[in-house]
Amino acid sequence: MAQPCQERRGGSRGDRVTQGVTASSGAVGTGSTGLGASLSGSLVSAEWLRDHADSVVVLDASIARSVDAAGLTVFDPGHEVFRAAHIPGARFADLFATFSDPSSPIAFTRPTAAQMAAAAAELGITPADDIVVYDQLSGAYAARVWLVLRSFGFERARVLDGGFARWAALGCPIESGDPAAPDGSGRAIELADLGTSIFAGLDEVRSISADEDSTTTLICALRTPDYTGESGGDRPGHIPGSLSVPFPDLLSDDGTFSPERTRKVLEGVGIGPDSDVVVYCGGGINASGAALAFVEAGYPLPRVYDGSLSEWRSDPDLLLVTGPDPR
Q: What percent of the chain has pLDDT over 90?
A: 79
Residue 15 has pLDDT above 70, yes or no: no
pLDDT in tens, 154-184: 999 999 999 999 999 999 999 999 987 777 6
Q: How many Cβ atoms are within 10 Å of 327's Cβ, its own excluded?
A: 11
pLDDT (tens digit per residue) in 45-102:
999 999 999 999 999 999 998 888 877 778 899 999 999 999 999 999 999 999 999 9
Q: Which CATH class is domain 196-312?
A: alpha beta
Contact 273, 217 (CB under 8 A): no
pLDDT value at position 16? 35
Tell me how far apart the alpha carbons of residues 257 and 250 are, in angstroms, rounded to a whole number. 6
**232: CB partners within 8 A, 6+ apart:** 225, 226, 309
Q: Secondary structure of the chain: what % helix, strand, coil (to 5)?
A: 30, 15, 55
pLDDT of residue 31: 54
pLDDT at 211 over 90: yes
pLDDT band at 233 (very low <50, low <70, confident <90, very high): confident
Average pLDDT over the chain, rounded to an integer? 88
Q: Between 71 and 126, whose confidence is greater?
A: 126
Residues 6+ apart with CB under 8 A from 204: 278
> What residue type is 115 in one-letter code?
Q
For residue 305, how many other CB atoms are within 10 A of its CB? Answer: 27
Annotated domain spans of the chain: 23-193, 196-312
pLDDT attached to residue 190 = 86
Q: Is 69 exposed, middle or buried (0-12, 13-18, 19+ CB in 10 A)?
A: exposed
Q: Which residues contact 282 (CB under 8 A, 6 or more apart)?
A: 222, 226, 308, 309, 310
- Which range among 34-43, 234-243, 285-294 shows the weakest confidence by mean pLDDT? 34-43
CB 311 within 8 A of CB 206: no
Show the CA angle centred on residue 309, arms to residues 95 and 218, nearest 5°.
110
Residue 226 has what DSSP assignment? H
Asked if the domains at 23-193 and 196-312 fall in one CATH topology, the answer is: yes
Q: Which CATH superfamily is domain 23-193 in?
A: Rhodanese-like domain (3.40.250.10)
With residue 304 as reference, give the H or E element that holds it: strand 303-305
